[in-house]
Amino acid sequence: MVEQFTSLPDKPTFDIFCKVVDNFGDIGVAYRFACQLAHERGFAVRLIVDRLDIVKIFVPALDPALPSQVRDDITFLSWSEELLPTSYGKPADVVVETFGCSLPTFVMELMKNVNTRWVDLEYLSAEAWVPRFHAIPSPEPQTGLDRTLFFPGFTPDTGGLLREADLLKQRDTFQLDLTQQNMWRQAHSLPAIAADFIDVSLFCYPTAPISLLAESLAQCNQPIRVFLTEGVPPETERIISAIAPEVPIYKLTFLSQPDFDRLLWTCSLNFVRGEDSFVRAIWAGRPFIWNIYPQEKEAHLRKLRAFLAIYKDSIALPGFASLEKLLVLWNEGGTEMIDLCALVTNLAPEARSFADQLAAHGDLVSKLVAFLRRE
């Protein structure tokens, strides 16, 4: 085994490697993670990404043609076989491999000779096996270096969820200030809040049964407005308009991460997808429906049911069966109708309670830094 040092500097440096696999999920999580380390902790952070053109959507000032650049207190490096070996230099104190993206061979070779920690930040899962494998260093066969799998999660014995230190305070201030919410809405061409309306944000994969949702919208006994985010299937507006023509639809252009948070904070019900928007919907403290990323052999459905088991144990919801049914229908398909209006009414206080319970477990960055310091 390669000998590794264990001391961590007061201000450790971080390298975060990320590959843009699909959509914006992986880079969305990696960028939030990098921002929290840099802005809240004051750590020097390099974010090494294979698609800087995608990162530019989050960081408009970024120039994808540059191999190395500093934007918003983060150093961005282009992860290419030609450019990275000349721009990378020395590994940071902590090297983070996000979602098993596999580090470049030359980086692993450099890590053998320096005081560094190797962390594999994994995908979020509520499955029962996660705590058993969380934060346990083990030798990586190719190099002999210790690599630690670090799992986000929903229980105290996992890594927790990404959450900025002041996020819930910002949320509370925004949700209590009707003027602030309406100013934000006006800036994004959305209608003002109306007490009798249920406002629904929609962000989903092409696999989601849009027609089923449209039928449920049409059956609701309260007026509903739908806010379509960029990234929903192109036929979504047409299907909803055909089945529920009385439901107003508002289309949004791509939102920055802070603006996406505020969209979730100001809506009555949020349909979200993947990992990043799912976690942000939880912190919004509003009812949400999760469209989980489809995986082979229906692995995603096992993850969905594992989350539902934790959610059910964490809240006292008389209408939990309806929520569970809708989540399963939204991810597996079906024909049964769900009363969305009743769901929003029943779930609203419990969604806030669930967010507060998870916040008490600590956030991912704080738990990771604490683990690295005591290891």
Catalytic center residues: 26, 275
42 token code pair: 């004051």
DSSP conformation letters of 258-312: HHHHHHHHH-SEEEEETTHHHHHHHHHTS-EEEEPPP-GGGHHHHHHHHHHHHHH
* DSSP summary character for residue 246: T
Compute the residue count for the chain. Answer: 375
322: β partners = none
Stated as kind and residue range, the H or E segment containing 138 is: strand 136-139
Strand 117-121: give its sheet, edge to edge: 68-71, 74-78, 45-49, 14-18, 94-98, 117-121, 146-150, 136-139
| Closest listed residue to residue 222, CA positions, set 244, 237, 238 | 244
Map tokens 């469209």 to a residue. Answer: 291
Q: Which of 313, 289, 314, 293 is nearest to 302 (CA)?
A: 293
